[in-house]
Structure 1
Amino acid sequence: MNASRSVRKSERWIPVLMLIPSLVLIGIFVYGFIAWTGFVSFTAWKSMVKNMKLVGFSNYALLFQDFRFQSDMRNTLMFTIMFIAVTMVIGLFLALMVDRKVRGETFFRNVFIFPMALSFIVTGVIWQWILNPTTGVNLILKALGIADVPQWYTSTNIIPRIQLGQIEFGLPVAIIAVAIAAVWQMSGFAMAMYLAGLRGISDDLREAAKVDGAGEWKLIRKVIIPQLRPISMSLIIILAHISLKIFDLIYAMTGPGAMFVTDVPGVYMFETTFRGNNYAQGASISVIMLLMVSLFIVPYLVSSMRKEKM
């Protein structure tokens, strides 16, 4: 009896022992590097020669006074709003259509999800050609007799032009082109998420709503969308995480753009750190990006943990 108890106790430690190597590696290569980046952001390391003299928050102060970084924050805000809203609306629409068990459902599902198989680099190159002012879709528009074709991602227009600090606050027309490419890639993922949620809604609930006189639109608005709220919250977190740290799509498609109309913190951080060798400022940008992502993820994690305890 005592022997069996000791065996059971030893077995309890096996999962812990199996997890320890992963915890050590994560602690070093994730949280350790985050701490190191945070430390570097408070130093004067601005060249290939290491300078670990502490300068406090001066790197952050200079950053928020910088025209380019202010432009980046504007672009990130506008891109995030468009990207999340349009992706979720299109994803829900596609899911509702596919959920009707249309003929060739598997084919349509695969077609819509296929862009996810591509990297953002490939998507950027594809849409750079499609939305190029002299090629792609503009050739079709010119063939249709439209002389004043859009400039897409080369445009420097901002709508509306509201002077805020050093920048003109508003929606950069060029960022719309980038958002179109991002939505094209991720709307299939949103569709798959919503489709899984729709298949989890019982037919009895739908039938009960129809018996009560709910039409198609009222059924969607009053029954289906509220039932999909957890899916929507998860999508917002995932898409916000992608948009706030976006780099590869913009770097491949447009780069910073004229007057930084398509620049984002990820591109700025890359060029500052690995081209300008300004490691302190690059680390400052990285920390700000981490904080922006945390604003979405941390509340969601706290809320999830509270629900689990309940």
Structure 2
Amino acid sequence: MKTVVSERDVTVVPAVRKKRKWTADHWLAAAFLTPSVVLIFIFVYGFIGWTGYVSLSNWNSLVPDLSFAGWKNYIYLFHDFRFQADLRNTVVFTVLFIGVVVVLGQFLAILLDQKLRGESIFRNIFFFPMALSFVVTGVIWQWLLNPSTGVNLFLKKFGLDSKWYTDTTILGGFHIGKIEGGVPVAMIAVVIAAVWQMTGFAVAMYLAGLRAIPEEVREAARMDGATEFQIYRKIIIPMLRPITVSVIIIMAHISLKIFDLIYAMTGPGANFVTDVPGVYMFETTFRGNYYANGAAIAMIMLLSVAIFIVPYLISSRKGES
């Protein structure tokens, strides 16, 4: 005689989760991590919070005044001619810098991927500028592009003369409120110096990506009748898209907070044609003692960098999960 058991008669017993006991290794790891976590919260997030509070205060003198001022410092900045010029220069520098680094880095990496003789020599040549600080790069290119020295002396022999990084001309000038929009010629000189230093990083990233692509992919495309140009345009370069995104994010992070290169090479420049928020913040805070205004500039710089970094980190976490 068979016994029929219905679903109603079946009792589902929930699985009991066993509490994981902390071993000596867990406690040791926590002991090592806790000081770092505490220091990060104090010296990173704590100071960010302090800077945000100062930016909303009236502390614009040597005597601290932490009384609440609201958005007064931010409103002042966005009506300030110099800060408007800084925003224009930052956009120009970021677009030109990222665009040239991505295109040039990709092109040079493809050339190095052709298994040329002396590849290691060319790699070292491209990577060497990365070993220098932006201050050294600024001094070097200041001498090279100086109207009375360097490259300009060579150009004068052919009847060519240029003010280079001291030129206050703005190409394609148009007015947005008080500020003249366009591309300052002097900023192009700064872009050249920054590209010279950071292109090696893009080359290294793209070269690693090219070497990770299996040769079978190229062989299959050749068997289908694709030319080398078509292989790179339709297959290889699209496969390098994650690396391109990484290069853009890292270069944007550098360009939005650039300070040392411009400060060593040109400074704010005449009519602020090479001024950026980092230089303005330094002079406002440590030379003018306008601490609240300087903190407001720092918070705006932080937010501009976060616009690029935070979405990238979120997408990266989703991709890993």
2:144 aligned residue: 130
Q: Deviations over 1:218-242 (max 9, x none)?
A: 1111111111111111101110000
- Partner Cα distance (1:101, 1:167) in 2: 50
- In structure 2, give the amino acid aligned to 1:263: D
Q: Matched residues in 1 for 2:20 and 2:231: separation?
A: 58
What's 1:97 paired with?
A: 111
Instruction: Specify which of 287, 298, 310 is matched with residue 286 of structure 1.
Output: 298
By how many angstroms is 1:17 displaced?
2.1
Matched residue, 1:40: 54
- 2:274 is equivalent to residue 262 of structure 1: yes
Q: CA shift at 1:285, angstroms? A: 0.1
1:173 is aligned to: 185
The letter for the 1-side match of 2:243 is I
> 2:175 corresponds to which residue?
163
**Aligned residue in 2 for 1:203:** 215
SS in 1 for 2:23: helix
Q: 2:39 aligns with which of 9, 14, 25?
A: 25
- SS state of the match for residue 304, structure 1? helix
- Taking the aligned partners of 2:20 and 2:250, their CA distance within structure 1 comes to 44
- Residue 215 of structure 1 deviates from its aligned partner by 1.1
1:14 aligns with 2:1: no
Query: Partners in 2 of 1:141 and 1:226 — Cα distance?
Result: 41
Q: Deviations over 1:246-280 (max 9, x none)?
A: 00000000000000000000000000000000000
Q: How far apart are 1:144 and its partner, in Å?
A: 2.2
| Counterpart in the other structure of 1:83 | 97
Measured after TM superposition, the shift of residue 159 of structure 1 is 1.3
How far apart, CA to CA, are the structure 2 residues paired with 1:217 and 1:154? Answer: 41
For normalisation by structure 1, the TM-score amounts to 0.96
CA distance in 1, matches of 2:22, 2:226: 57
Letter in 2 for 1:259: N
| 1:96-129 deviation digits (Å, cap 9, x = unpaired) | 1111111011111001100000000000000001
Which residue pairs with 2:9 in the alignment? none
Q: Which of the numbers 205, 222, 236 marks the counterpart of 1:193?
A: 205
Could you say which residue in structure 1 is the equivalent of 2:8? none
Matched, 1:73 2:87: yes
Any residues of structure 2 matched to 1:191-270 within 5 Å, and which? 191-270=203-282
Among residues 120, 126, 135, which one is paired with 1:112 in the alignment? Answer: 126
Residue 10 of structure 1: how far off its partner (Å): 3.0
When Rg is computed on C-alpha atoms for both structures, the one with the higher figure is 2
CA RMSD of aligned residues (A): 1.3
Structure 2 portions without partners, runs of 5+: 1-18
Equivalent residue pairs, number? 303
User: How many Å separate the matches in 2 of 1:131 and 1:153?
Assistant: 7
Deviation at 1:191, TM superposition (A): 0.3
Structure 1: gaps spanning 5 or more residues: none
| Distance apart, 1:145 and its partner CA | 3.0
Higher mean C-alpha deviation, range 85-94 or range 262-271: 85-94
Letter in 1 for 2:311: P
CA distance in 1: counterparts of 2:228 and 2:169, whole angstroms = 41
Change (3 A) 1:13 1:276: same
Measured against aligned partners, the alpha-carbon deviations of 1:173-205 in whole angstroms (never above 9, x if no partner) come to 110000000000000111011000000000000
1:6 Cα offset (Å) = 9.4
Identity of aligned residues (%): 63
Q: CA deviation at 1:166?
A: 1.0
2:213 partner letter: I
Residues 258 and 6 (structure 1), Cα distance of their counterparts in 2 relative to 1, 3 Å cut? closer
